[in-house]
Structure 1
Amino acid sequence: MRKIFLGFIVYALAELALLIVIGQNIGVLSTLLLIIATSVIGIYVMKNKGMNSVQNVKNTLARGEAPGAALVDTFLTFGGGLLLALPGFLTDALGLLLLMPFSRKMFQPIVYYWMRKKMKKGQFIIVQR
C-alpha cells in the first residue's frame, strides 16, 4: 500500500514539474490550451474508436471466434483515450503510445499476461449472451 501511495506522490510531482517547465517554455495559456485539446481528443477517441472496438468484439463473438485480440485492442484503445483525457503530459504521452498501432504491439503481451492471470484466479470471465 505504501508503494502505491509513494508512486502516486512521485507521479504527481513529476507531472507538476513537467507542467511548470512546459508552461515556462511555451506560456501558461498555450499550456492550458494544449491540456484542454488533448482532453477533448481523448474523450473523442474513447467515444468513437472505443465504441468501434466494442462493436468489433461483438462481431468476433457473433462469428463464434475467441475475442482475445479484439478484446485487447479494445482495452488498449479505451485506455489510451482515457489517459489522453486526463490532464497532464505524462499521461498524454502514454495514451498516445497506447493508440499508435506500432507501439500498441509492445503493450499487447502485457495485457494478455494480465488477462490470463485474472482468468486463472477466476476474476475475469467472458460471458456470451
Structure 2
Amino acid sequence: MRAFLLLFLLFPVLELYVFFKVSTAIGFFPALLLIIAGSLFGVLVVRVAGLATALSARESLNRGELPAQQMLQGLMVALGGGLLVLPGFISDIAGLLLLLPPVRHFLVNRLRKRAEEQAMRQRAFAEEFETAHRPGTHQPVGREPNVIEGEFEHRDK
C-alpha cells in the first residue's frame, strides 16, 4: 500500500521532470502539442475500443461462449487509451505499450493465469472447509476438536 502511495505521489513529479526535459530539447510549444495530440488520440482510442469490445462480446455471447478474453483485451485497450488521455509522456508511453497486441496478450494471459490460481486456492479452501465442517456437527468455525486417543491407568498412592 505504501508503494502505491509513493508511486501516486511520485508519478506527477516524474511526468513534470520528463516534460521539462522534452520541452528543453524540442521546445515548449511542440512538447505541449505532443501532449495535446496524445490526449486527443487517447479519447479516440477509448471511444473506438468501447464499441469494438461491446461488439466482440456480443458476438461471443451469440456463439454461446463467455467473452472473458475479449473483455480483458478491451479493458487493456481502454486502459491504454485512458493513459493516453492523461497529460504526460510517461503515461503516453505506457498507454501506447498497452495498445500493442503482443503486450496486451502477455498481460491478459498473465492476468488469466493469476485469476485461475486464485480460483484454485479458493476452491481448495472451500472443499477443505466443507469436509471439516459437515452438517450436523456443531464445531466452531476454524477449530478442530481436541481429542487425544490413548490408554490410561489410575494409580493411587
**TM-score, normalised with respect to structure 2:** 0.69
1:66 corresponding residue in structure 2: 66
Structure number with greater Rg is 2
Secondary structure at 2:64's aligned position in 1?
coil
Q: Which has the higher contact order (CA 8 A, sep 6+)?
A: 1
Change over 3 Å in CA distance of 1:114–1:83 after alignment to 2: farther
1:13 corresponding residue in structure 2: 13
What is the alpha-carbon root mean square deviation over aligned residues?
A: 2.0
Structure 1 gaps, min length 5: 122-129
**TM-score, normalised with respect to structure 1:** 0.82
Task: Provide the rounded CA distance (Å) in 2 between the counterparts of 1:48 and 1:59.
Answer: 17
> 4+ runs of 1 displaced by more than 3 Å?
113-118
Q: How does 1:108-119 map to 2 (within 5 A)?
A: 108-113=108-113, 116=116, 117=118
Q: Give the share of equivalent positions with the same residue, in percent.
A: 32
1:55 aligns with 2:51: no
| 1:69-124 CA-partner distances (Å, limit 9, x unpaired) | 11111111111111111111111111111111122222112332565559x88xxx
Structure 2 gaps, min length 5: 123-157
The aligned amino acid for 1:72 is L
In the comparison of the two structures, how many residue pairs are matched?
Answer: 120
2:81 corresponding residue in structure 1: 81
Task: Provide the rounded CA distance (Å) in 2 between the counterparts of 1:71 and 1:112.
Answer: 12
1:126 corresponding residue in structure 2: none
Relative to its length, the structure with more helix (as a share) is 1
